Structure 1
Amino acid sequence: MDKQTYYVNLNPISMDDVSRVKIPDSNMIQYEIEADPEELKSLDVLLNETQAHDLESRNLFTFRHFDESIEETDRHEFQRGMDHVLEKIYELGTPETKQKIEEAHILNDDPKRNMRKPPH
């Protein structure tokens, strides 16, 4: 299958938007990837799941945010989702995208880097 070029941004509001066109916004970090339809669908699923969990964990109409163990678990699950998204972007990324990700040290090679282990 032929791969096509897409641009992914991880802005929380539009995280699930993968564009065929680079958006001319110097404040937005966009990752250039090359993907076939199957790979794009796989990335879309990861983005949607991560964004849905982020929105769910930010629900201010509950008292869940007062329970720190639940909040810590939510943070850990969101971070794990973001790690999977970044790994997929790196996998599909152009050489320039891979270089940017490597230079920014945002791939989570160490499971303890960003979050403590969630409570059992």
Structure 2
Amino acid sequence: MEKELYYVNLNPISMDAISPIKVDDGQLIEYEIAATPTEKKALEDLLHEVQSHDLELGNLITFRHFDDEVVDEDRNEYQRGLNDVYEELYRLGTPETKEKIKEIHMINDDQ
């Protein structure tokens, strides 16, 4: 299957949107990836899952946020999901994307 170029941003509002068009916005960090339709769908699912969990963390209506152990567990789970996102972006990324991810130390150099 042939890979196509896509652009991914990790803006919490539109994190699960993968676009074939680069957004010309100096405030937005986009990661360019080359993916098959199957890889694109898997990444969209992962992004959606992480974004959904992030929105759950923002839910302060409950009393869960008073329990430090629950809050720490939620944060750790969110961070693991975000780490998975960066690993996938690195795997699918163009050389420029891989360099950006290395610069922010979001990938294990042992890979």
Contact residue 43 and residue 85 of structure 1 kept, 8 A:
yes
Over aligned residues, Cα RMSD in angstroms? 1.4
Deviation, structure 1 residue 54: 0.6
Corresponding residue number in structure 2 for 1:118: none
Equivalent residues in 2 for 1:5-44 (5 A)? 5-44=5-44
- What amino acid does structure 1 have at the position aligned with 2:39? E
Percent of residue pairs bearing the same amino acid type:
58
Corresponding residue number in structure 1 for 2:51: 51
Deviation, structure 1 residue 103: 1.8
Which 4+ stretches in 1 moved above 4 angstroms? none
Consecutive unaligned residues in structure 1, runs of 5 or more: 111-120
- What amino acid does structure 1 have at the position aligned with 2:42? S
Equivalent residues in 2 for 1:1-120 (5 A)? 1-107=1-107
TM-score if structure 1 supplies the norm length?
0.87
TM-score if structure 2 supplies the norm length?
0.94
Q: C-alpha distance in 2, partners of 1:6/1:53? A: 24
- What amino acid does structure 2 have at the position aligned with 1:18? I
Q: C-alpha distance in 2, partners of 1:84/1:106? A: 10
Deviation, structure 1 residue 70: 0.4
Q: C-alpha distance in 1, partners of 2:109/2:56? A: 26
Q: C-alpha distance in 2, partners of 1:55/1:109? A: 30
Deviation, structure 1 residue 96: 0.8
